[in-house]
């Protein structure tokens, strides 16, 4: 099987509500690049790049991509580099992409996912099989509140828990007093059984402030403290002073970042993305090295459509260390059964069938490749 062409579709899904975090307060979610990969055997592979211009690493180590930059890089650089290659030979494909252009992991990840989808369909197996097999059939949902008014946070958290969510993720980092009040009140309202995790998205003003806020939040039992500051060295200083595990996200893009985090003793866990390292192929390698170092992870993302979310779930099922509740949406097209709040960020989706939601977990799609069918009419409907 050979790659014959790649198309890029830019879409914008309608959001259920604004979803913001400390490093992104103005850009709407849902504006993504969708990759359609064609082959000489008539098999189509789908991929997604939920790229955001404000999303990157500390000190310009990584930089923001956008759907428009993804479109440019894919069409003008990567498409020519991979045409004629077998999508199942993923290591060869990455070597060709890296020779064509440095960086641009989100653009490369979208092609990587489309190749895995096509290869899985050709072989009649799910992507998780290509990644080594499934350790689990679903990922526990961490329902993310985003930064919004406290009363809205409380109401939405209660609704999500009533629908089956077992973990609430609080976006924080802009107002220390708000962040402590939010955790305290959620614990009071939700009870002891619901897990609460916090994510500062590099937003705190200093190491001292991050430590102070986290120590006060720990009085109300938090699962973990995610990326309160930008650099790995600052994470290490926080980790030495608090009890909760520190999770690295913006500081954990590549294998080399994992090695640095371990050397500095900066984080016990990290957020493993399909996109940050440049695709499923490198995400798997990143997680395997982290496992050897005694780390564990969740499956992170950027509130993908059902295409990218299917890739997230296939990855999460195949990583033994992906044990943490994750912000994987419960993807579903408009009018489908399922939750209305828990794990729901969009009013519609690009997939034809809703993802299962059972006992607080979003289920990994079954079937070959990503296990989904893409609704082309929805791509046209939401085309930018």
Same domain, 90 and 100: yes
Instruction: Tell whether 276 is covered by a domain.
Output: yes
Give the Cβ contact number of residue 33 at 10 Å: 27
Instruction: Tell whether 37 is covered by a domain.
Output: yes
- Residue 27: pLDDT band by 50, 70, 90 thresholds? confident
**Which tokens go with 277?**
């390292």
Task: Report the C-alpha gap between 141 and 326 in whole angstroms.
Answer: 5
Same domain, 107 and 198: no
Higher pLDDT, 58 or 120: 120
Structural domain count, the chain: 2
The torsion angles phi and psi of 358, rounded to 5 degrees, stand at -135, 125
Whole-number pLDDT of residue 215: 98
CA nearest neighbour of 168 among 342, 355, 299, 339: 342
34 in Cβ contact with 305 (< 8 Å): yes
Q: Measured between alpha carbons, how far is residue 107 from residues 45, 71, 74, 110, 307 in Å?
A: 15, 8, 6, 5, 15
Average pLDDT over residues 360-370: 97
**Which tokens go with 142?**
């961490």
pTM listed for this prediction: 0.97
Average pLDDT over residues 351-367: 98
Whole-number pLDDT of residue 154: 98
Whole-number pLDDT of residue 328: 97
Instruction: Tell whether 371 is covered by a domain.
Output: no
> Per-residue pLDDT tens for 316-327?
999 999 999 999
**Torsion angle of the four alpha carbons 167, 347, 313, 88, in this order, in degrees rounded to the nearest 10:** -160
Whether 25 has a pLDDT exceeding 80, the answer reads no
- The least confident of 1-15, 25-39, 357-371 is 25-39
Whole-number pLDDT of residue 309: 98
The torsion angles phi and psi of 202, rounded to 5 degrees, stand at 65, 15
CATH code: domain of residue 26: 3.30.390.10
**Which tokens go with 56?**
């990157």
Which residue in the block uniquely carries the two structure tokens 């107002």? 175
> Per-residue pLDDT tens for 149-179?
999 999 999 999 999 999 999 999 999 999 9
By residue range, what is the domain housing residue 69? 3-127+376-381
> Per-residue pLDDT tens for 98-114?
999 999 999 999 999 99
> Residue 166 carries which DSSP code?
-
Give percent above pLDDT 90 in the chain: 95
Instruction: Tell whether 368 is covered by a domain.
Output: no
Residues 6 or more apart whose CB falls under 8 angstroms from that of 215 comprise 241, 242
Whether 95 has a pLDDT exceeding 90, the answer reads yes
Instruction: Tell whether 369 is covered by a domain.
Output: no
Instruction: Tell whether 136 is covered by a domain.
Output: yes
> Residue 374 carries which DSSP code?
B
Same domain, 183 and 201: yes
Residues 6 or more apart whose CB falls under 8 angstroms from that of 208 comprise none
Residues 6 or more apart whose CB falls under 8 angstroms from that of 128 comprise 134, 314, 315, 317, 318, 364
Give the Cβ contact number of residue 323 at 10 Å: 16
339 in Cβ contact with 358 (< 8 Å): no
Same domain, 116 and 195: no
> Per-residue pLDDT tens for 251-279?
999 999 999 999 999 999 999 999 999 99
> Residue 78 carries which DSSP code?
I
Average pLDDT over residues 77-90: 98
Residues 6 or more apart whose CB falls under 8 angstroms from that of 42 comprise none
> Per-residue pLDDT tens for 216-239?
999 999 999 999 999 999 999 999
User: Alpha helices of the chain — where are they, by DSSP H?
Assistant: 67-73, 79-82, 90-100, 105-123, 127-130, 150-162, 176-190, 207-218, 232-239, 255-264, 280-292, 306-318, 376-381
Instruction: Tell whether 171 is covered by a domain.
Output: yes
Same domain, 139 and 248: yes
Whether 60 has a pLDDT exceeding 90, the answer reads no
Q: Which residues pair with 142 in a beta bridge?
A: 167
Whether 58 has a pLDDT exceeding 90, the answer reads no
Helix 105-123 and helix 90-100, axial crossing angle in degrees, nearest 10:
160
Same domain, 218 and 241: yes
Task: Report the C-alpha gap between 338 and 331 in whole angstroms.
Answer: 9
Same domain, 193 and 218: yes
Residue-averaged pLDDT of the chain = 97
Same domain, 301 and 209: yes
Residues 6 or more apart whose CB falls under 8 angstroms from that of 59 comprise 230, 231
Same domain, 90 and 185: no
Average pLDDT over residues 243-249: 98
Same domain, 212 and 266: yes
Whether 71 has a pLDDT exceeding 80, the answer reads yes
CATH code: domain of residue 332: 3.20.20.120
Same domain, 235 and 338: yes
Instruction: Tell whether 285 is covered by a domain.
Output: yes
Same domain, 262 and 299: yes
Average pLDDT over residues 201-216: 97
């Amino acid at each position: 099987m050979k790659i014959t062409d790649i198309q890029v579709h830019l879409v914008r899904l309608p959001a259920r509500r604004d979803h913001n975090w400390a490093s992104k307060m103005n850009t709407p979610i849902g504006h993504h690049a969708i990759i359609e990969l064609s082959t000489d055997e008539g098999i189509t592979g789908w991929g997604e790049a939920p790229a955001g211009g404000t999303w990157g690493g500390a000190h310009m180590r990584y930089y923001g991509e956008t759907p428009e930059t993804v479109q440019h890089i894919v069409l003008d650089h990567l498409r020519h580099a991979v045409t004629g290659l077998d999508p199942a030979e993923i290591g060869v494909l990455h070597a060709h992409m890296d020779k064509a252009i440095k960086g641009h992991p989100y653009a490369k990840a979208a092609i990587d996912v489309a190749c895995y989808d096509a290869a899985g369909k050709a072989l009649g197996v799910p992507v998780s099989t290509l990644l080594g097999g499934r350790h689990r059939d679903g990922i526990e949902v961490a329902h993310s509140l985003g930064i919004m008014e406290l009363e809205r946070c409380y109401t939405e958290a209660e609704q999500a828990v009533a629908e089956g969510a077992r973990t609430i993720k609080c976006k924080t980092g802009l107002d220390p007093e708000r962040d402590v009040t939010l955790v305290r009140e959620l614990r009071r309202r939700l009870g002891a059984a619901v897990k609460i995790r916090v994510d500062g998205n590099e937003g705190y003003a200093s190491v001292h402030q991050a430590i102070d806020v986290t120590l006060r939040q720990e009085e109300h039992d938090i699962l973990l403290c995610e990326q309160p500051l930008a650099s790995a060295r600052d994470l290490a200083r926080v980790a030495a002073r608090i009890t909760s595990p520190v999770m690295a996200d913006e500081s954990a893009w590549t294998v080399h970042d994992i090695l640095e985090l371990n050397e500095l003793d900066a984080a016990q866990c990290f957020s493993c993305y399909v996109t940050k390292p440049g695709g499923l192929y490198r995400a798997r390698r990143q997680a395997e090295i982290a496992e050897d170092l005694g780390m564990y992870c969740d499956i992170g993302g950027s509130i993908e459509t059902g295409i990218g979310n299917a890739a997230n779930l296939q990855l999460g099922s195949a990583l033994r260390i992906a044990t943490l509740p994750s912000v994987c949406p419960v993807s579903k097209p408009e009018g489908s059964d399922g939750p209305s709040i828990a794990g729901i960020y969009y009013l519609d989706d690009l997939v034809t069938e809703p993802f299962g939601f059972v006992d607080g977990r979003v289920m990994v799609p079954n079937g070959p490749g990503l296990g989904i069918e893409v609704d082309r009419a929805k791509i046209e409907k939401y085309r930018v």
